[in-house]
Amino acid sequence: MLNEILLLIGITLMYSTPLVFGALGGVISERSGVINIGIEGMMTVGAFTAAAVSYFTGNPWLGLLAAGAAGGLISLLHAIASVTFKADQTISGIAINLIGPGFALFFCRMLFDKATMTLPGKTLPKLFDEKIFGDSAMKNLNVDITVVLGLIAATAMWFFLYKTKWGLHVRAVGEHPAAADTLGINVSRTRYLCVIVSGILAGFGGASMTLAIISQFTPTAISGQGFIAMAAVIFGKWTPFGAYGACMLFGFAQALTVVLGGGNFAVPSQILAMLPYVLTIVVLILFVGRSVAPKADGEPYEKGVR
């Protein structure tokens, strides 16, 4: 029984980590007043970049860093469209979701002559390595270092948003950019930085999928994970730890599909595969009306216009 419980916890932590990074990216972006629907596309670019760089260098840490850089670079497009040109942020995010997978698939076919690639070398280190723990029950907690990095990122973002003056500036820009502007806060620069950080975190989320969970890149490596992360932002009421807890819930749903699917339960695989997405819809129906987004979320700011 203990082995099964530890296995379920391990799978929950493993599958929730990509969501955690994506959701934290959504939190920081929307706290500054920019809706980032493009988390899915940024995660896909990060997933491919991490796999490709790790493949050619043999170093998964370089792959992780490169994924963050790639996510930040593509998020810059969203920032330019949303902040500088004041385009519709939802449409811009949807465009990123189309560009990201297209970019990843194009370069995957160009570099590897096919739409998929498998990592032959090392992946990110595990926290409970079988070589260390042997046949003990702890080996069932087969989670990698990104689980810890996700928790550190959530803690750091909470501290930044609620315990520093820069975090106060971000929240002020997301709630009332005109008032923040009168206090000397550069609204455009703040939003630019938050959107770029959002992309970096989303890139890390994609990397944690290809470097730790599936050890390969496929066109479906990030299939809906970005949208589930956005649901976690809403469920978590735009707070780092709230989003983190929501991701754990969605990760638990994914873990159930793995555990039940591999057991002797008479549950159709199609129903199990639907579980995380059905839970996402249920959460949005029950909680979206009760969660209050930052007041200026999704509204372009024009200096001098109140």
> What pLDDT is stored for residue 260 in this prediction?
75
CA atoms within 13 A on the CB side of 48: 26
CA 8/CA 23 separation, integer angstroms: 22
> What pLDDT is stored for residue 137 in this prediction?
52
- C-alpha gyration radius of the chain: 19
pTM passes above 0.85: yes
36 touches 197 (CB < 8 A):
no
DSSP 8-state secondary structure symbol assigned to residue 138: G
CA 239/CA 277 separation, integer angstroms: 22
Segments of the chain scoring below 70 in pLDDT: 1, 121-122, 127-141, 261-267, 269, 287-290, 304-306
CA atoms within 13 A on the CB side of 23: 32
> What pLDDT is stored for residue 18 in this prediction?
95
In angstroms, the Cα distances linking 127 to 132, 141, 204, 212, 248 are 10, 8, 18, 12, 18
Tokens 């916890």, located at residue: 9
Whose CA is closest to 100, among 215, 202, 201, 191? 202
CA atoms within 13 A on the CB side of 258: 17
> What pLDDT is stored for residue 1 in this prediction?
66
Burial class (CB in 10 A: 0-12, 13-18, 19+), 37: buried
193: tokens are 């930085």
Spell out the residues 6+ positions from residue 293 whose beta carbon is closer than 8 angstroms to its own.
30, 234, 238
> What pLDDT is stored for residue 40 in this prediction?
96
CA 57/CA 62 separation, integer angstroms: 8
Tally helices (H) and strands (E) across the chain: 12, 2
H or E, element range at 118? strand 117-118
Whose CA is closest to 224, among 278, 166, 302, 144? 278
